[in-house]
Amino acid sequence: SSGSKVLVHFVNQSGVKTSVFVTEGETLLDVVIKKNLDISSFGACEGTLACSTCHLIFEESVYDKLEPIVDEEVDMLDLAYGLTKTSRLGCQVSVEHWMDGMTVHVPQEINDQQGKQEAVSSK
Ligand code: FES
C-alpha cells in the first residue's frame, strides 16, 4: 500500500544506532539526507555512482535479496575501504517493504593512529 513505512536501523562509524521510518522507494542515500543522520561525508557524489562514500554493509539475508549489482557499482565498491561481501552503495538501494526491521552498518573508519597505538605494559 502506498505511504507505508519501513523501519530501518542505521549504525554509524562510531557504532551509534539510529532507527528511522522510511518511505518505500527512497534510496538509502535519500534517507540519510532526509533524516539528517550523523554519518560523516556520506553520499559525496549525490548518487551518481562517482564515489564510494555511501558504502553500507547489509545483513546477509537482506543482501541476498537486493536488486542485482551493476558493473559501475562494482567498480566504485572496489575503491571503498572496509569492503565486505555484503557491501553495497546506499544510493543504489531503494527501500522496499520486505526490508522492514533491517540494520545497515556504515563501515568503521580506519584510524591509523588507533591502529598504531600499542598497549603499554607496566608489568
Ligand atoms: Fe556516490 Fe553513492 S553517493 S556512489
87 φ, ψ (degrees, to nearest 5): -90, 140
Q: What is the pLDDT of residue 51?
A: 95
Query: How far away, in angstroms, is 29 Cα from ligand 1 center?
Result: 8
pLDDT on residue 34: 96
Divide the 123 residues of the chain into consecutive groups of 10 and give the mean pLDDT of each group: 83 95 97 94 95 97 97 96 96 97 89 45 50
Check residue 19 and give left, alpha or beta (phi > 0: left; psi -120 to 50: alpha): beta
User: Is the CB of 70 inside a 6 Å radius of any atom of ligand 1?
Assistant: no
Any atom of ligand 1 within 6 Å of the Cβ of 43: yes
**pTM score, whole prediction:** 0.86
So what's the pLDDT on residue 3?
Answer: 65
56: Cβ below 6 Å to ligand 1? no
Q: Is the ipTM of this complex over 0.95?
A: yes
The helix (run of H) or strand (run of E) holding residue 61 is helix 60-63
